[in-house]
Structure 1
Amino acid sequence: MMSLMGDRPLYVALGDSLTVGIGATFFQPNFVKLYQHSIEYYFRQPVERLSFAKNGATSEQILEQLLHPETTHAVANASFITLTAGGNDMLHASRKWLKTGNQAELSESIQSCVATIEEILWTIFEIHASNPQKFCVRVLNLYNPMPQIRETYFWLEQYNKQLASLERAPDVKIADVYHAFLGNEPMLLTLDHTHPNPLGYRIMADTAVHLGFEPVS
């Protein structure tokens, strides 16, 4: 049995501009709406959706958002949770690295960001602990918004490798958006060269849906 918000199972989307849907259009749904539709199709029932996201949010800010009563209540009752985080952290760190060339500082930023995302996940588990119903968490890793700079692939692979280690947490799976976008980034990003276009958002959703919804049944 799924956790219910009213009469419907609840999907909670946490994150940054990728959860907000910057780059999507009115007629082309963003990642969150596409993921909701896929849950509804799979389980053959309507699903309630709540989003807690802000354009430009860092992983630290997303962690702080979890402490707001409205967010805490939603997470406690969610059957499905998605998280987009780390993109702004990495953009800030990468731009600084391009100016200074300080690789050690960039490496530290990667470790700090992954540690914060791990804290987000354990906070989610603590919040949900009062609810005996099963739930699943899907974390999206990072595609490369700067494919023209070859070195960025190395750093993103380091980041995504560390992020993948968080799958050791119960009921967490990492959606490998990085490889889903790899080699096709220019065709999947908007004119700002940062956010996905509608096709990019569809690929993100398909990548997350491909992981299934276990242990929810």
Structure 2
Amino acid sequence: MAIVYTALGDSLTVGVGAGFFQPGFVPRYKRKMEEDLKQNVTLAVFAKSGLTTAEILSMLDRPFIRNYIEKADAITITGCGNDLIQSLEAYKREKDQHVFLEASSHCQKNYSAMLKKIRELKEKNERYFIRLLNLYNPFPEIELAEKWISGFNGHLQQLQATPYVKIVDIHSVFKGHESEYLSFDKVHPNSAGYEAIAEKLRASGYKPLKIEEC
């Protein structure tokens, strides 16, 4: 019986920046999962460039997507990058640091609501896991961006819940490697960046699908 993998999110889940005919992290992670678990993996992707966490949350009200979540053994979620970009633009206009705090709080609430909806759908199934990807910083030259992202990631860590939910730290993967892992737009990962994300996901293991860690 195949493992069902459902990926939700924004442009990172889409794979923007990978390059022509190059996969993003989602197909790469699917292949690694198949290699590690020695099982076929069926994939469903619900993602669009530019989505905010509020828009990703709203997707969980669509019956078609809810059906895939209900059947999923593995779920990945990316988000808040667009919330960050919007808050940076607002900061440039208003010079008010509170826009970052508001965006962070907004993202936290939306992620919590996503997990609540998923838990409700998975009430009768304990054989699944969720991986939330934290934020890397594509703007290392902006001091406030690093401060905001580090704060957000720290709060996101509080949503980790063994054994189902793990926060995958891609911030540390990209920090200091921006020139190596970011695409020409300096915002999205390139092919090497997506491979690094997939490897970080792989390293998070597959419990409770698999007793031993990979």
| Superposed pair shares fold, TM > 0.5 | yes
Indicate the residue corresponding to 1:167 in structure 2.
160
1:158 counterpart letter in structure 2: G
- Post-superposition Cα deviations, 1:45-97, rounded to whole Å, max 9, x if no partner, equal 11000000011011011111111111100000000000001111111112211
- Residues 1:149 and 2:142 aligned together: yes
- Residues 1:117 and 2:125 aligned together: no
Indicate the residue corresponding to 1:107 in structure 2.
101
Equivalent pairs counted in the alignment come to 210
- Residues 1:65 and 2:59 aligned together: yes
- Residues 1:17 and 2:17 aligned together: no
| C-alpha distance in structure 1 between counterparts of 2:49 and 2:16, whole Å | 8
Percent identity of the aligned residues?
A: 36
Contact 1:135 1:171 in 2 (8 A): yes
Indicate the residue corresponding to 2:32 in structure 1.
38
**Segment of structure 1 superposing worse, 75-84 or 179-188:** 179-188
| C-alpha distance in structure 2 between counterparts of 1:142 and 1:161, whole Å | 10
Q: From 55, 67, 92, give the equivalent of 2:86.
A: 92
Residues 168 and 47 (structure 1 numbering): CA distance in 2 closer, same or farther, change over 3 Å?
Answer: closer
RMSD across aligned positions (CA): 1.3
1:206 counterpart letter in structure 2: E
Moved over 4 A (4+): none
Contact 1:145 1:194 in 2 (8 A): yes
SS at match of 2:184: coil
Contact 1:76 1:129 in 2 (8 A): no
| C-alpha distance in structure 2 between counterparts of 1:18 and 1:150, whole Å | 23
Contact 1:56 1:88 in 2 (8 A): yes
| C-alpha distance in structure 2 between counterparts of 1:86 and 1:203, whole Å | 20
**Segment of structure 1 superposing worse, 138-147 or 19-28:** 19-28
Q: Could you list the runs of 5+ residues in structure 1 that have no partner in the other structure?
A: 1-6
SS at match of 2:197: helix
- Post-superposition Cα deviations, 1:133-157, rounded to whole Å, max 9, x if no partner, equal 4100000001111112122111110
1:173 counterpart letter in structure 2: K
TM-score if structure 1 supplies the norm length?
0.92
Indicate the residue corresponding to 2:2 in structure 1.
8
1:183 counterpart letter in structure 2: G
Query: Post-superposition shift, 1:161?
Result: 0.5
- Residues 1:186 and 2:182 aligned together: no
2:98 counterpart letter in structure 1: A
SS at match of 1:196: coil
1:189 counterpart letter in structure 2: L
TM-score if structure 2 supplies the norm length?
0.94
SS at match of 1:38: helix
